[in-house]
């Protein structure tokens, strides 16, 4: 457990991003507070936001690769205010699709499920989208 420097709440250590400069190798603010800070930071600085948006052209390529419209992508992105559709803590970065339908980096568009952070996407991939493996893992950590 760790107390967040921003909200003052004591939270599980996993709710803090990793940071090498800290005693416990975790940042002093929780992921939720850090995300709120970064969002406000860029909203208050239009010049920095524009530069960041330039880098987000990866998103554009992402939605095109998955055969969805820009409008559909924006709708999915806004669904959880730009946060991962699974953990709802980290930034949504990767369009997730059902690999049983399209087992490659591109998809037909019909099997797109949402947008995940890279951690949740990696975890889902390592578990091979298997509901049973996910249930087993949940049971294990209980």
Q: For tokens 């930034």, name the residue.
A: 91
**In this structure, are strands 94-97 and 112-116 parallel, antiparallel, or unpaired?**
antiparallel
DSSP-assigned states of every residue in 102-123: --SSS--STTEEEEE-HHHHHH
Q: Is residue 59 very low, low, confident or very high in pLDDT (cuts 50, 70, 90)? A: low
Report which of residues 59 and 116 the model is more confident about: 116
The pLDDT of residue 110 is 92
The pLDDT of residue 55 is 53
**Could you report the per-residue pLDDT of 131-142, keeping only the tens digit for each?**
999 999 999 999
| Least confident window among 20-29, 55-64, 113-122 | 55-64
- Asked if pLDDT for residue 118 goes beyond 80, the answer is yes
CB-count exposure of residue 44 (10 Å: 0-12, 13-18, 19+): exposed
* Distance separating alpha carbons of residues 73 and 95, to the nearest angstrom: 9
Q: Walk me through the domains of the chain, giving residue ranges and CATH numbers.
A: 1-55 (no CATH), 57-142 (3.40.1800)
CB of 12 closer than 8 Å to CB of 1: yes
- Asked if pLDDT for residue 60 goes beyond 90, the answer is no
Give the rounded percent of residues in the chain with a pLDDT score beyond 70. Answer: 92
The pLDDT of residue 139 is 94
* Distance separating alpha carbons of residues 13 and 131, to the nearest angstrom: 26
């Amino acid at each position: 457990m760790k107390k967040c420097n921003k909200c003052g709440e004591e939270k599980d250590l996993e709710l803090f991003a990793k940071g090498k400069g800290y005693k416990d190798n975790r940042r002093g603010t929780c992921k939720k507070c850090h995300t709120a800070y970064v969002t406000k930071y860029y909203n208050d600085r239009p010049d920095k936001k524009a530069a960041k948006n330039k880098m987000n052209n990866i998103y554009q390529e992402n939605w095109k690769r998955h055969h969805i419209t820009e409008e559909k992508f924006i709708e999915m992105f806004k669904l959880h205010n730009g946060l991962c559709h699974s953990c709802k803590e980290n930034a949504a970065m990767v369009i997730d699709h059902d690999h049983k339908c399209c087992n490659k980096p591109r998809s037909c568009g019909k099997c797109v499920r949402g947008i995940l952070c890279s951690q949740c996407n990696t975890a889902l991939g390592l578990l091979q989208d298997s509901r049973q493996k996910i249930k087993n893992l949940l049971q294990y950590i209980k």
